[in-house]
Amino acid sequence: MTSARTRDRLVERLRQNGIYQEQILERIRNVPRHLFVDEALSSRAYEDSALPIGQGQTISQPYIVALMTQALLEDGAGGLRMLPKALEIGTGCGYQTAVLSPFVRRLFSIERIAPLLSQTRDRLRELKVDNVRFRNDDGFNGWPGQAPFDGIIVTAAPQREPDTLLTQLAPGGRLVVPVGPNGGEQRLLRITRTDDGYTREDLGAVAFVPMLEGKEKGVR
């Protein structure tokens, strides 16, 4: 179920769907996704689909995780750029965090549901993902004390572009974010901060859980 062959099949599928960065494919192959889902679902962990993780939340589809990671890091010349400082909104189970972590020097990650975050901290510590600082807060505020960021990745969908996050981008920095109504059409956007404003690219249709305001206690 969690064999090398199953993982190879997943990686092959992502490659066919346009993930061309070998380092990202290799990272997807190596992150043990079965440890991020309930044991009852571990046989499905290497399918290219989203799965429930409790608290009404989901672990993202591997293709989307790879696509967002690539969109954040590709350098336009066929390579990857390593980011000094990046921010993630929507830690959830930490799968996207784990995939991204080797490509950034310092990663900051915000989750609004406290119990999800405490499980994730433990899981990532066990997996030796150790360049991440976590915060239980409303990601709409970003992380002002650490801004600006070279990259920001949002794994829940706000209805509109999140203005505060845009202001926390460094020049040349990118925000990768799904924008649109809950249950309606959401578009994955890559917004780049330039010297005199922002440029936007549409990376396609996606389906994310909504980005919600405020913190939540959740149920243990």
Q: Tell me whether residue 125 or residue 199 sits nearer to ligand SAH (CB atom).
A: 125
Asked if 27 is part of the footprint of ligand SAH (rule: CB under 6 A), the reply reads no
Asked if 111 is part of the footprint of ligand SAH (rule: CB under 6 A), the reply reads yes
Q: Tell me whether residue 38 or residue 138 sits nearer to ligand SAH (CB atom).
A: 138
Tokens (6 digits) for 73: 């890091």
Q: Tell me whether residue 66 or residue 116 sits nearer to ligand SAH (CB atom).
A: 116
CA distance 46 to 2: 7
Catalytic residue among 49, 60, 109, 118: 60
Q: Find the DSSP H helices in 112-162.
A: 114-126
Choose which of 70, 155, 168, 186 interacts with ligand SAH (CB under 6 A). Answer: 155
Asked if 35 is part of the footprint of ligand SAH (rule: CB under 6 A), the reply reads no
Could you tell me the smallest distance in angstroms from the CB atom of residue 213 to ligand SAH?
A: 6
Q: Is 180 helix (H, G, I), strand (E, B) or coil?
A: coil
Q: Which residues contact 112 (CB under 8 A, 6 or more apart)?
A: 136, 137, 138, 139, 212, 214, 215, 216
User: What one-character-per-residue DSSP string does 41-108 give?
Assistant: GGGGTTSSS-EEEETTEEEPPHHHHHHHHHHHHB-SSSSB--EEEEEEE--TTSHHHHHHGGGEEEEE
3 noted as active-site residue: no
10 Å CB burial of residue 208 (0-12, 13-18, 19+) is buried
Choose which of 41, 71, 166, 209 interacts with ligand SAH (CB under 6 A). Answer: 209
Choose which of 62, 139, 142, 151 interacts with ligand SAH (CB under 6 A). Answer: 139
Contact segment (CB under 6 A) with ligand SAH among 15-23, 26-34, 53-61, 78-86 equals 53-61
Q: Which residues bind ligand SAH (CB under 6 A)?
A: 57-60, 65, 89-90, 92-93, 95-96, 110-113, 116, 138-140, 155-156, 209, 211-212
